[in-house]
Structure formats: C-alpha cells, structure tokens
Structure 1
Amino acid sequence: MSALENEIADLWTRYNNGDVTAETADEDVSATLEAFLEALEAGEVRAAEKRDSAEQRSAGSRTSSGNGEWEVNEWVKQGILLNFGLRENRAYEYGGVDHYDVLPLRETGDLGDRGTRNTPDGTTIRRGAYLGSDCIMMSPSFVNIGAYVGDGTLVDSCDTVGSCAQIGENVKLGANTLIGGVLEPVESAPVIVEDGVSLGAGCRVTSGFVVGENSVVGENTLLTPRIPVYDLVEEEVLYGELPPERRAFTRFVESSVSDHDLFDGGAYKPAVVATDLETETLEATEREDALRE
C-alpha cells in the first residue's frame, strides 16, 4: 500500500468510529484530503483500473469484455467520500455566481499545457476529476469528482460524466449523453467506457455498465444492467456489458404483460441489439477523426 492509501484507510476508520468530523478535522486531515484530490487530478490514482488476470485479487473485480478485468479501488472511493464527510459546506464563486458546496471546482491551468480544451460559458469540472491530453469539453458539460477522462476524448455539449466513471482514450460522447456515477457502496464498479468507443447523442450509461472498446452505440440508447444486450455475434444474451467491436442500438421486444387486456396490440420493453461493426459505420468514424484533426 502507498503512503496515501494508508493515510486514507486510517482516516476512514477514524471517520466511521466518530473520532473525526468536519468540525474537528485538523490541518493534518486537510492535508491528506488535499493530497488525495491532487493525486486524482494528476491521474495517479483511479477509482477503478483494468488489470491482467494474474493481478485480480479483489472480490470487487468486474469482468470486462476484453482482456483482464476492471477492478474497483475501494480506498479511492473511500477517499472521495471522506472529502464529502470531512469538509464543511461553504460559499464559492464561479463565473460571477455564488454557490455552496463542500468542494470547489477544479483549477484548469494545467489543461492548456496538455492540449486539452474546455470551451467557455458552461464547462464545469469538479475537484478530483482527471482529464487527459488533447481532450475537448464543449459547453455546457460537467465532469464530477473521481471521474477519469482519457487522452483525446470528446465530452460534447450537455454531457455529464458522473462520479468515478472511467472513460478511455479517443472516446466520443455525443451531445446530451449521461454517464452515470457510482460512488456507494464503495465496492461497486463504476461505469466504464473503454478506448475508442463512440456514443451517439442522447445515450445513457448507468449502474456500472461496461462498454467494450471500439464499439459504436446508436443515439438515445440506454445501457444499464437491467436491460438485456442481445449479442448477435456470439449469439448470447448479456447483462451489464457490451462486448468490444460492436455496433449497438435499441429495439423493442415483447413484454411479459403483452397478453393483458389493457395493452391493445401488445406491450413491449427495450432491449439492446449488438452486431458486428458495419463498414459504413467505420467510415463515418474515420471521417469524424479527420474533422477533429
């Protein structure tokens, strides 16, 4: 365990035992909380990481569609919760508007040096969020604490990247996309969007769903463990994940209440259909890459 991990573990125990509160937190506690947020913002620690099979030791491991597994770093989520529990609500000023929170917004002076852009009038990054190199944040958009946004990723207008969500490299989050946050319980896996994924406008990814690398998801698709994914490539039904290299879109299948008298013509429920990536979809993605460059 790193020194920071040990400090967070000790502070977590003291907090849950009632030995330290927001009112009694001293300078040492504040220094630990600040060091933790700085490590998150530098990408040195993450709420979840993909590890090779030989490294999978935690009961919180989550199988992903590619090689290795996504493993939750529970102590990181504990550190985020401590930053909420051990700080007092206070006034901050942002863009000329006063607001109240336990955390300020993230300083963005380091982004320009890495070629990352956050357009004016509405891009909001909370403390403890990481943005890689050559990212683009269009306004208005929001990235929450603990989120990790990889190099070259586009966060489009009206997008939300929730707490602890892990977004890979060269991902496109279409306009009005919601990436849900998963903070508690600490052992629960966050939403994962792997490298090279393209999510169409209006998509929703929630409750720890894993989107496999290089997949293309049609607009307004809801990806959540409660909705089945009919993978026509491997001919199986999946829950909670979309395999890599898929084209996915929403279709409706017959509901178990279809024969009820109230449903004239039958009742239907949403499902996600996953197929091979089609040539024309790849060409469209390549065209967008050219425009971004």
Structure 2
Amino acid sequence: MSVLRDDIEDLQHRYDDGLTADEVGEDERAILEEFLESLEAGEIRAAEKRGGEWEANGWVKEGILLNFGLRSIRTHTHGGVEYHDVLPLRETDDLPGRGTRNTPDGTVIRRGAYVGNDAILMSPAFVNIGAYVGDGTLVDSCDTVGSAAQIGDSVKLGANTLIGGVLEPVEAAPVVVEDDVSLGAGCRVTSGFVVGEGSVVGENTLLTPRIPVYDLVEEEVIYGELPPERRAFSRFVESSVGEHDLFDGGAYKPAVVATDVEAETLEATEREDTLRDN
C-alpha cells in the first residue's frame, strides 16, 4: 500500500495548492477509485490498534476527504430512487458469497465502506465511507455507522444506535467498538470514544469523551473509553449547579457507571437458578 499512500499524499499536496474537481484527469480518478476499492476490501483502514492504543491513519482519512473534494456532484439512481452526491453507493454483489446479507428497503452502504463476512445489516441502516464493520456483526434497524468508525467482530449494534463519524482532524482517532461488544437499543457513541472488547452497554447510553465513566472495577473515573469486559449503563450525578434556585430538588448531569461484566453475568445466573429451584 506504500505506492497508494504516496499517490494520496501527492494528491493532497496538489489539492492544498489549488487542484479542483474540474481539473482532475483519468490518472487522478484512477487513484481515487483504487483507494475506495482498497477500503472496501479491508486492505486499508482509517484507524488501527498499535501498542494497545487505537491510532488514526491520517493518510487514509485524507484519501476519504479527497474523494469529496476532487469529485463533482452527480445524479445517481439506486432502487429507482434518484439522489445527488459525489459518490455512488457501494456495490454489494460480493456480500452473499461471504455469507453477509443486507435486507431491502433502506439498507445503504456508501462507497468506501468495508463489511466483513457473515455480517447482517437490517433496514433501514446506513454505513458511511471509511467505516469498517467486522465479521459476524449485526447492524440493526435504524442504525448509523459513521464515517471512519471501526466496528469489530461479533458486535451487536442494537436498533436505533448511532456510531458517530470522525473525519477531521485527520489525526483524530474515530469511534471504535471492539470485538464481542453488545450495544443496547438507542445507544450513541461519539467523538472518538473507544468501547472495549467484550463489553455490554445498556439501552440509550451516551458514550462520549465529555461524559465521565465511573469504573467500579478499578475504582477510578475515566474519560473517552470503556475498558474491556464491562457492563455499562447511564446514571445521573449531582451537578455543580445543583443548588440553583431554578432547579427544585437539585440539578443532575449524565454519567456512565461500569461494572464487571463477568460478575454481573454470574450474579444474574445465580438469581435465575434460585428462582428455578424455588
């Protein structure tokens, strides 16, 4: 991929110097197409884990942005619906051969998105450019997987879940949901938040770097990530304006509480066994 990276970085320099969509020729278009094909094949990714930390691949995010800046808006037709965009939708004829299915009437996969093997995309769901959806993952009804978001293997995104996109600045890591995570219906994950492997997140939980995570396992308050193997849910804690006259009974701000997912599962199993025995 070193040649493709060099080509994208050269295009970026020329774009910064004033290259416009009207001036793009066959060679430049070929580079942009090769870049999108490489994203769709999973050969390049907007972010990767290195040394235990997720890092953005800045040149890949530059390539995504160049596919906006160096293309003109065109009229496209999909399923009899006319739309106007710089990019067409992704071809999906490779999906059935890999055991992946996307249901009709509203499942939208934009060009430059990777979808793994044995995945399921339910209508109406939207997967944006640069997103990576891993093997065996469920993208449920009304879900949005934002640009450059990285979703791992065997993930369950509950219905009406929003995974935010992070394209700029290019050095900023996108939203990451690691392997074996389950997000309940209505969850929102934004602004480069990382959901650790094997975690279970309750319905309607907002995960963003601006909201504290009270990790009861390590007994610390953290921001921007949910550690692996946690069970998380929303709670509200007292706000600094709690004593304001306008707030009868005090004001509260959102927080996320995280407990040990294995302990929670064991406790639930023990309760179930007790109920069955009695």
Find the partner of 2:163 among 164, 179, 203. 179
**Partner letter of residue 228 of structure 2?**
P
Q: Distance in 1 between matches of 2:61 and 2:230?
A: 31
Change (3 A) 1:160 1:280: farther
Match of 2:178 in 1: 194
Residue in 2 that maps onto 1:253 = 237
In structure 1, give the amino acid aligned to 2:13.
Answer: T
Give the TM-score normalised by structure 2: 0.95
Could you tell me how far 1:153 is from its partner in structure 2? 0.2
Match of 1:3 in 2: 3
Distance in 1 between residues matched to 2:161 and 2:16, nearest whole Å = 36
Residue of structure 2 in register with 1:112 after alignment: 96
The aligned residue for residue 43 of structure 2 is 44
- Does residue 84 (structure 1) correspond to residue 68 (structure 2)? The answer is yes
Query: How far 1:97 sits from its partner (Å)?
Result: 1.0
Runs of 4+ in structure 1 off by over 6 angstroms are none
Give the match for residue 21 of structure 1: 20
Which amino acid is the alignment partner of residue 42 of structure 2?
G
Match of 2:275 in 1: none
Q: Distance in 2 between matches of 1:218 and 1:69?
A: 25
SS in 1 for 2:179: coil
> Aligned partner of 1:48: which letter?
A
Q: Distance in 1 between matches of 2:86 and 2:268?
A: 44
Residue by residue over 1:149-200, the C-alpha shift from the partner in whole angstroms, topping out at 9 and shown as x without a partner, is 0000000000000000000000000000000000011011100000000000
Which of residues 122, 142, 145 in structure 2 aligns to 1:158? 142
Superposition deviation, residue 281 in structure 1: 8.7
Q: Which amino acid aligns with 1:122?
A: G
Q: Kindly state the Cα deviation for residue 280 of structure 1 after the two structures are TM-superposed.
A: 5.8
Cα distance change, pair 10–271 in 1 and its aligned pair in 2 (3 A): same
Per the normalisation by structure 1, the TM-score is: 0.90
Unmatched 5+ stretches in structure 1: 54-67, 284-293
CA distance in 2, matches of 1:241, 1:69: 11
Aligned to 2:12: 12
**1:99 counterpart = 2:83:** yes
Aligned residue type for 2:148? C
The match for 2:34 is 35
Cα distance in 2 for residues equivalent to 1:84 and 1:98: 19
Fraction of identical pairs, as percent: 78
Counterpart residue number, 2:274: none
Give the distance between the partners of 1:213 and 1:279, measured in 2 at CA. Answer: 16
Unaligned regions of 5+ residues in structure 2, if any? 270-278
What is aligned with 1:61? none
Aligned-residue offset at 1:71: 1.3
